[in-house]
Amino acid sequence: QQQVKQSPQSLIVQKGGISIINCAYENTAFDYFPWYQQFPGKGPALLIAIRPDVSEKKEGRFTISFNKSAKQFSLHIMDSQPGDSATYFCAASKEHSSNTGKLIFGQGTTLQVKP
Amino acid sequence: NAGVMQNPRHLVRRRGQEARLRCSPMKGHSHVYWYRQLPEEGLKFMVYLQKENIIDESGMPKERFSAEFPKEGPSILRIQQVVRGDSAAYFCASSSSPLAKNIQYFGAGTRLSVL
């Protein structure tokens, strides 16, 4: 059972364009939604995260949009740069203290930003 | 402040041998998570440990895999009698407190190759 579905699998964007990656989740108990960035040969690095009490969160060129009713959230990378070329993973988790905090990851999106 | 340290970075084993993967969490972090990443796939949760306790091992295969996080020293993920299907990248993540379990910082991973 794939609890977090991510699309597209791969994405090519021109420098300066907007990269958009989408995720959908099934479990309404999830209440913490991070995005991770992974470069080849490296571990995932926390990029930005959102909780369902807000519909949007922005940090620099990175924005998460969250639609609780549709159980969907997306990552927008504005003014995409070649250095943004990496694999991006969405994830979901239950934040309540009684939960273990394990992250359920999407399948990943490989982003290539062309100069 | 050093991040999450994993070693070795690369490990080659022949079928039937044992693999030991080590993880030292970030300073001040007492929660350790292990995830497995198969080629072209997202990360899958394996096990969650606190010092001297396994809290959630729902993602661990029932046979050949074990994990520990002793009072002193790193967390160890042990795979006995490795098979080709165990070839993957194994990532360790740590978090700082029960209230911040979801905020996990990842190591660079150990890439296991089984010949």
pLDDT in tens, A42-72: 899 999 999 988 999 999 999 999 999 999 9
- Residue B67 contacts A where some CB pair is shorter than 8 Å: no
Q: Minimal Cα–Cα distance from B46 to chain A, Å?
A: 9
B106 and A91 Cβ atoms separated by less than 8 Å: no
Preceding omega of A82 cis (within 30 degrees of 0): no
- Interface membership of B29 toward A (CB under 8 Å): no
Q: Suggest the residue from A46, A103, A107, A110 to mutate for an interface test with chain B (most B CBs closer than 10 A).
A: A103
What six digits make up the tokens of A88? Answer: 């991006």
What's residue A91's pLDDT?
A: 95
**Chain A with chain B: Cβ pairs closer than 8 A:** 67
At A94, is the pLDDT very low, low, confident or very high (cuts 50, 70, 90)? confident
d(CA B2, CA B16): 34
Quick one: CA dihedral B100, B91, B106, B25, positive or negative? Answer: positive
Which A residues in the span 93-112 are in contact with B, Cβ-Cβ below 8 Å?
Answer: 93-95, 97, 99-108
Handedness of CA A32, A50, A91, B26 (dihedral sign): negative
For tokens 């796939």, the residue is B41
Residue B90 contacts residue B78 (beta carbons within 8 Å): no
Mutation for testing the A interface, residue in B46, B58, B102 having most A CBs under 10 Å? B102
The larger pLDDT score, comparing residue B114 to residue A99, is at B114
State the smallest CA–CA distance between residue A78 and chain B in angstroms.
Answer: 24
DSSP string of A81-112?
-GGG-EEEEEEEB--STTS----EE---EEEE
Going by the DSSP 8-state scheme, the letter that residue B26 receives in this structure is: P
- The answer to whether A24 and A33 have CB atoms below 8 angstroms apart is no
- Residue A36 touches chain B, beta carbons under 8 Å: yes
Instruction: Please list every residue in chain B whose beta carbon sits closer than 8 Å to the beta carbon of residue A103.
Output: 33, 35, 43, 45, 93, 102, 104
Joined together, the tokens standing for residue B54 give: 């396994």
Residue type, position A45, single letter:
A
Measured between alpha carbons, how far is B8 from B92 in angstroms, rounded to an integer?
12
Looking at residue B51, its pLDDT comes to 87
Q: What is the bridge-based pairing of β-strands A104-105 and A86-92?
A: antiparallel
**Which of the two residues, A101 and B90, has the higher pLDDT score?**
B90
Q: What is the pLDDT of residue B110?
A: 97
**pLDDT, averaged in runs of 10, over chain B (115 residues):** 88 97 93 91 92 92 95 95 96 82 88 96
Within 8 A of A87 by CB-CB distance, chain B residues are none
